[in-house]
């Protein structure tokens, strides 16, 4: 079998890497996952920095381009393969696409910051034997609650964030939420909110995401 | 009917105004006073449920998040005014990449500097010198990467001015102005040349004029 032209660099446990993996799986685009050992600082070595000058994961390559930033990679994949796999991932007309983009930006600007801090503090810091910052946890939990209140309201009148279909906007939330719900005592933030809970159980049981979780647990 | 842009006095809405001017799209502005809490009224929250600026109304269509808004107009009016997206799918990929870099790497430390130096004590911000110091250090590291990139490429995504460069203008204008850290730009030869270029575009001068 020929080696797929698409390469993703980084560990599947990384939230940003898993965001790209789930997008590729939803779009049925074959790829090769190239490991990057972050404990050994491989992401800061010259060969990697050539691809990603900030020394962050993931990096992405196909025949035509090298790209970084997981949400830019997801947009590129969805635009390059509009008719493959889950077709409506980035909408089928400009107005729908803009609404998806709006919620993808909301994830990026409002959901990601507090949920990333909580994921780091509650999941990764203990693994790395780092001391947790209780004040930071409290502060970011409060921020996340406010964001989830907005989502609770939105998801009361819309099945998914951007409308009736699962899109990149919902997909982008999978990585951090998976950690918070499954690996911390903060699952309640999501499950105690009726609409958010319903939305989470729908999006997290999609086959593509289940496959990524398997890769993370391998 | 003309596009309405809310909150022109502030930086994020200026991303949208810049884009609309570059694309030769007519618009109106609607003032929103953050200090008076006008972004937290029920009317405003109906439009933008997070209480952030900007939001636009285009007839019946409402859209928030400045980077989503500029992508929408840049694509909708691709053949009119300045092409801010590039010619190929790959060009567009690079534009989106650097727009994400701006959103995740450049903007957060710069926003801290803006909030602590310009806006404290409003919005519950207590000026914190440690936050200022750490944010400046983070931003300096990002600017070092930009310096390297801009030594090989005239603009961030390639040889064309794009949404990626545009997105930097409003907050960088705060950095070199009221935040008082112009040296961060000036000390880096290629970043400095890039900033001189993009900040002297007629569109930025027009936005500053409108928002006076």
Tell me A44's DSSP state.
G
CB nearest to B89's CB, from A73, A79, A108: A79
CB proximity list for B54: less than 8 A, separation 6 or greater: B5, B6, B7, B10, B12, B13, B15, B16, B48, B64, B66, B69
What's the rounded Cα separation, in Å, for the pair A171 and A181? 15
pLDDT score of A64? 86
pLDDT less than 50: residues of chain A: none
How much of chain B exceeds pLDDT 70, in percent? 100
Rg of chain A, C-alpha, whole Å: 17
- Report chain B residues whose CB lies below 8 A from the CB of A74: none
What's the rounded Cα separation, in Å, for the pair B206 and A128? 51
> How many other CB atoms are found less than 10 A from the CB of residue A155?
21
**Peptide linkage before A58 cis (omega within 30 of 0):** yes
Smallest CA–CA distance from A69 into chain B, residue? B97
Q: In this predicted model, what pLDDT tens digit does every residue of A123-177 receive, in sequence order?
A: 999 999 999 999 999 999 999 999 999 999 999 999 999 999 999 999 999 999 9
pLDDT score of A1? 54
Backbone phi and psi for residue A211, each to the nearest 5 degrees, phi listed first: -65, -40
As given in the structure block, the two tokens for residue B20 are 């609309």
B 17-76 → A contacts, CB under 8 A: 49-50, 52, 61, 63-65, 67-69, 71-72, 75-76
Q: Which of A30, A15, A22, A90 is nearest to A62 (CA)?
A: A30
pLDDT score of B25? 98
Mean pLDDT of all residues in B22-35 = 97
Q: In this predicted model, what pLDDT tens digit does every residue of B151-174 receive, in sequence order?
A: 999 999 999 999 999 999 999 999
Q: In this predicted model, what pLDDT tens digit does every residue of B119-130 receive, in sequence order?
A: 999 988 999 999
> How many other CB atoms are found less than 10 A from the CB of residue A53?
16
CB nearest to B105's CB, from A54, A97, A108: A54
As given in the structure block, the two tokens for residue A20 are 């790209």
Going by pLDDT thresholds of 50, 70 and 90, the confidence category of residue B212 is: confident
Considering chain B, what is the average pLDDT of its residues? 97
Residue B63 belongs to what H/E stretch?
strand B61-64
| H helices, E strands: number in chain A | 12, 4
């Amino acid at each position: 079998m020929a080696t797929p032209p698409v390469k993703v660099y980084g560990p599947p446990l990384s939230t940003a890497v898993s965001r790209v993996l789930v997008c590729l799986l939803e779009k049925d685009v074959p790829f090769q996952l190239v490991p990057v050992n972050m404990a050994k600082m491989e992401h800061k070595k010259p060969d990697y920095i050539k691809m990603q000058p900030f020394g962050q994961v993931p990096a992405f390559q196909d025949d035509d381009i090298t790209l970084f930033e997981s949400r830019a990679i997801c947009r590129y994949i969805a635009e390059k393969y509009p008719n493959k796999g889950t077709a409506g991932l980035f909408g089928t007309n400009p107005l729908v696409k803009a609404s998806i983009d709006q919620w993808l930006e909301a994830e990026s600007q409002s959901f990601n910051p507090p949920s990333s801090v909580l994921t780091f503090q509650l999941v990764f810091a203990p693994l790395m034997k780092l001391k947790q910052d209780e004040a930071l946890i409290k502060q970011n939990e409060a921020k996340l609650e406010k964001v989830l209140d907005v989502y609770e309201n939105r998801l009361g009148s819309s099945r998914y964030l951007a409308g009736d279909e699962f899109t990149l906007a919902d997909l982008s939330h999978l990585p951090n939420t998976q950690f918070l719900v499954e690996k911390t005592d903060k699952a309640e933030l999501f499950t105690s909110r009726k609409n958010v809970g319903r939305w989470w159980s729908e999006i997290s049981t999609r086959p593509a995401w289940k496959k990524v979780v398997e890769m993370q647990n391998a | 009917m003309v596009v309405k842009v809310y909150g022109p006095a502030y930086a994020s809405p200026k991303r949208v105004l810049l884009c609309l001017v570059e694309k030769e799209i007519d618009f109106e502005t609607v003032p929103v006073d953050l200090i008076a809490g006008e972004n937290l009224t029920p009317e405003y929250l109906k439009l933008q449920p997070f209480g952030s600026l900007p939001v636009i109304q285009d007839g019946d269509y409402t859209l928030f998040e400045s980077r989503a808004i500029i992508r929408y107009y840049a694509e909708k009016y691709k053949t009119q005014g300045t092409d801010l997206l590039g010619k190929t799918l790959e060009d567009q990929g690079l534009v989106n990449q650097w727009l994400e870099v701006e959103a995740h790497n450049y903007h957060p430390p710069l926003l801290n500097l803006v909030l602590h130096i310009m806006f404290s004590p409003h919005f519950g911000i207590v000026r914190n010198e440690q936050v200022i110091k750490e944010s400046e250090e983070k931003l300096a590291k990002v600017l070092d990467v930009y310096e390297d990139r801009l030594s090989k490429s005239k603009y961030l995504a390639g040889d064309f001015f794009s949404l990626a460069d545009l997105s930097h203008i409003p907050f960088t204008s705060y950095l070199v102005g009221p935040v008082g850290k112009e040296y961060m730009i000036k000390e880096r030869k290629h970043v400095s040349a890039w900033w001189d270029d993009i900040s002297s575009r007629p569109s930025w001068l027009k936005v500053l004029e409108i928002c006076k």
